[in-house]
Structure 1
Amino acid sequence: MWKYKSSLGIFVGVSVATLTYYLTRVVKKPLLITGSAACADFLQRRCPVLVQEYYPTVWCFTSRLHTIMCSVLGDLTTWKLPPYRREILDMPDGGELHLDWLDHHGNSHHDNRTRPIIVILPGMSGHSGSYYVINLARGGCERGYRSVVYNHRGSNGVKLKNNRYYCAADTSDLLLVVSHIRKLYPEAPVMAVGASLGGMIIFNYLAKFGAHCGLVAAMVMSMPWDASKTTKSLEEPLNQLLFNKYLTYGLRKYIRQNREMFDKDSRVDVDHALKSSTIAEHDDCFTTKVFGFESVEHFYTLASACNKVSRVQTPVLSLNAADDVFAPLYTIPTEEIEKNPNIALVMTSHGGHIGFGDWLSPTRESFMDKLYQQYLDAVFKFKYGEEEHIEEM
């Protein structure tokens, strides 16, 4: 009996201590950094989650576990795909892109001509069937908008038509996709949303084309700001075991599935590429060769968003977690962001990489999903619902 009471007392004590730590140190309001006071005021009024305390999942004490639980378990709980409408877009170089549309057919104040469109770019190994991508597509549709998932070349299990694939520094495919969508729906506002590598492509696109990008706004989630420092972070022993090996395996699988295309490219040693054990090794012996970069350092410089903050002229919201090993806190250029009124950075103390889980269940609507949906309404209703005036942002 004494042992039972002692064990119970220890359990209660540890539970109380853990709960106290969680409520006092973990639960916090997100940090908002931007170069415009008007933008900050607008976002805080239109996105209520920014002024509320965020309750991360209870396994948030380890960001790596947070990421795995929220993403991997989320994928396991995906029961079925949304009713996508597949469009195959033939590219000028002979390749093709698969666009998966999720149309909204309900009654709203938008008709088919003017209904806002969200272009969703998945991460490195993501596609239209990934759990977080499905949530983004459905979230936009439920708000009355039209979503379209831009599957990177060959990323959805379909073999490549040529030796052209995708990387964070290449924005040419996104340019063609945006141009195509604007031709289909010239009266509809278009916004781009990207996670991880997808966010890097969007940010580079915004920086390259400036005010002529064809987008009214953008949002990037868990975007690595410095590609070189991200790869070094992923080479730390635990990160290498949990993430780097898995992602590199996927990259090697991608090459094997399309080997007949890359074998025709004299610049690439496919056998060497298939021996890569890290993302950096893969980029050094494969990505740099296919895209013609001078070196892996040259590629990472061109791919990194931290070098282009001042060039962005379109409103973009970036969501990062301070404990994301893919985007370490010290790599985020907060001083440069504070100088650009077009960029707003939302930083949570926990959340991992594309995690941002809420309480216990990975299927519960995450902080990322809530902010994303509120930001959609802020952009589209603000500019196109005539509820506010655009200059206020």
Structure 2
Amino acid sequence: MKYQAPAWLPGGHAQTIWPAFFARSSEAPALQFRRERWLTPDADFIDVDWLDPVLPTSQASTAQSSPKPPLLVLFHGLEGSSQSHSSQAFASVARARGWALALPHFRGCSGELNLAPRAYHSGDFEEIGWILARCKASYGGPMIAAGVSLGGNALLRWAEESGAAAAATVQAVCAICSPVDLAAAGHAIGRGFNRLVYTRMFLRSMVPKALHKLAQHPGLFDGERLRAAKNLYEFDNLFTAPLHGFRSTEDYWQRASAKPHLRDIRIPALVLNAANDPFVPAHCLPTAADAGPHVTLWQPAQGGHVGFPQGRPPGHLFAMPEQVCQWLAQSLP
């Protein structure tokens, strides 16, 4: 990836925080998503936001007989949604290319609490597989997929578990700023400035949702201990791990991490991580020896965590999605 951060926004923290709040992430006209609610096999639901392709006038008249444009399925990050800055930027780039976009919300992330005694997690490849299969069946055209942070790790885990069979569903996948070594990332976000800023931000959202889940399903976990959780390690130990079949945080982080299984991927896969990402330390990033022949590694020196701002203040966020989409397009028919 060719990326140089603007001089006015130096450092990984600035390149993470500023884009999330101030940089331009969508182009006019405003994005208008169409929401669908899908019932899951376990009697729960997820909400999927669709952005239909905008065809040029010359193509619109022949749209019935023309092949469908590609569909980009985008999986958001921890506590994200279709309104996240990265989601908006990818949606804008997809629309500019004439692609359709589907953004499935992980359970509980669409603005309404899900029903089942579970939420979502970084290694939820079964859920990813079910969503992708349904997108493929309902859309019917060529499909590619990308995931941001947590969503990217889960997407890679699906590709790893699926092996060669993944090619029947998608042409290529990409993980953006994903914590492919969950233990390294989990410990990093629990220290110093990361703990004071990012951990507190995530827990402000995650703890109340978990407590609402406890009200739905009394006795599901120890609410008092969860209220006292000071970091993601403790939260995962009390909530994420036991609700999703893991013995502990260590077991969850080990089994859900994508890095140890990258060589099992059999479709084109791009793994993009900035070396100055505050959440994902550079020392834990995969090397060519980890990756295998189907995986491409992009590890620019700058960019922060899902930031990659560009241009004059306040900056914009289209440079990274444009390069990712260009890479994904190479695998389309």
Q: TM-score, normalised by structure 1?
A: 0.78
Aligned to 1:8: none
Query: Is the 1:222–1:321 Cα contact (8 Å) retained in structure 2?
Result: yes
Are 1:89 and 2:38 an aligned pair? yes
What's the CA shift for 1:372? 2.2
Match of 2:115 in 1: 161
- Partner of residue 258 from structure 1, selected from 213, 217, 220: 213
Is the Cα–Cα contact under 8 Å of residues 225 and 305 in structure 1 kept in the other structure?
Answer: yes
Structure 2 residue aligned with 1:98: 47
Q: How many Å separate the matches in 2 of 1:313 and 1:181?
A: 20
The one of 291, 298, 308 equivalent to 1:356 is 308
1: distance between equivalents of 2:106 and 2:214? 17
Residue pair 1:59, 1:65 contacting (<8 A) in 2 also: no
Q: What are the ranges of 5 or more consecutive residues in structure 1 without an aligned counterpart?
A: 1-29, 31-49, 385-393
Alignment of 1:272-311 (within 5 A): 272-311=225-264
Of the three residues 36, 51, 74, the one matched with 1:120 is 74
Contact kept in structure 1, 2:25 and 2:89, CA below 8 Å: no
1:76: Cα distance to partner? Answer: 9.8
Are 1:175 and 2:143 an aligned pair? no
- CA separation of 1:320 and 1:163: change in aligned 2, threshold 3 A: same
Name the counterpart of 1:34: none
Aligned equivalent of 2:6: 57
Answer yes or no: is 1:242 the counterpart of 2:191: no
Equivalent pair of 2:172/2:269 in contact (CA under 8 Å)? yes
Q: Secondary structure at the match of 2:303?
A: coil
8 A Cα contact 1:60 1:350, kept in partner: no
Between 306-315 and 368-377, the greater mean CA deviation after superposition: 368-377
In the alignment, the residues of structure 2 paired with residue 197 and residue 138 of structure 1 have an alpha-carbon distance, to the nearest angstrom, of: 21
In the TM superposition, what is the alpha-carbon distance from 1:110 to its structure 2 partner? 7.0
**Aligned CA distance change for structure 1 residues 269 and 80 (closer, same or farther; 3 Å):** farther
Find the counterpart in structure 2 of residue 318 from structure 1: 271
Larger helix fraction of residues:
1
Shift of 1:361: 3.1
Please list, as runs of the form range in 1=range in 2, the aligned pairs for 1:8-87 lying within 5 A after superposition: 30=1, 50=2, 54-74=3-23, 82-87=31-36
State the Cα distance separating 1:365 from its structure 2 match. Answer: 3.9
**How far apart in 2 are the matches of 1:71 and 1:95?**
30
Match of 1:26 in 2: none
- Return the letter of the residue paired with 1:192: A
Cα distance in 1 for residues equivalent to 2:210 and 2:160: 30
Percent same amino acid among aligned pairs?
24
What one-letter code is carried by the residue in structure 2 that aligns with 1:253? P
Note closer, same or farther for the CA distance 1:85–1:141 as it changes in structure 2 (3 Å cut).
Answer: same
Q: Is the 8 A contact 2:24 2:317 kept in 1?
A: no
CA distance in 2, matches of 1:136, 1:220: 13
Partner SS, residue 348 of structure 1: coil
- Give SS of 1:203's match: helix
Q: Which amino acid aligns with 1:298?
A: D
Tell me if the contact between 1:75 and 1:130 (Cα under 8 Å) persists in the aligned partners: no
Structure 2 unaligned residues grouped into runs of 5+: none
For structure 1, which segment, 64-73 or 199-208, has the greater mean C-alpha deviation from structure 2 after superposition?
A: 64-73
| Inter-CA distance 78–125: structure 2 relative to 1 (3 Å threshold) | farther
- The answer (yes or no) to whether the contact 1:196–1:221 under 8 Å persists in 2 is yes
Alignment check: 8 A CA contact 1:81 1:134 kept: no
Quickly say closer, same or farther: Cα 1:362–1:342, change in 2 above 3 A.
Answer: farther
Match of 1:344 among 292, 296, 299: 296
- Give secondary structure in 2 for the equivalent of 1:68: helix
Of 84-93 and 269-278, more deviation after overlay is shown by: 269-278
Larger Rg: 1
The residue aligned with 2:84 is 130
Distance 1:225 1:193, change over 3 A: same
Which residue number in structure 2 is paired with residue 230 of structure 1?
A: 185
1:164 Cα deviation after fit: 2.2
Q: Counterparts of 2:139 and 2:158 in 1: how far apart (Å)?
A: 20
Kindly tell me: are residues 77 and 309 of structure 1, through their superposed partners in 2, closer, same or farther at Cα, counting changes over 3 Å? closer
Secondary structure of the 1:55 match is: coil
Asked if the contact 1:120/1:147 (under 8 Å) is kept, the reply is: yes
Q: Deviations over 1:234-291 (max 9, x none)?
A: 12211111211111222112213433224253xx212322221111110011111101
- Alpha-carbon RMSD across the aligned residues, in angstroms, is 2.3
Q: 1:74 to 1:359 in 2, by over 3 A?
A: closer
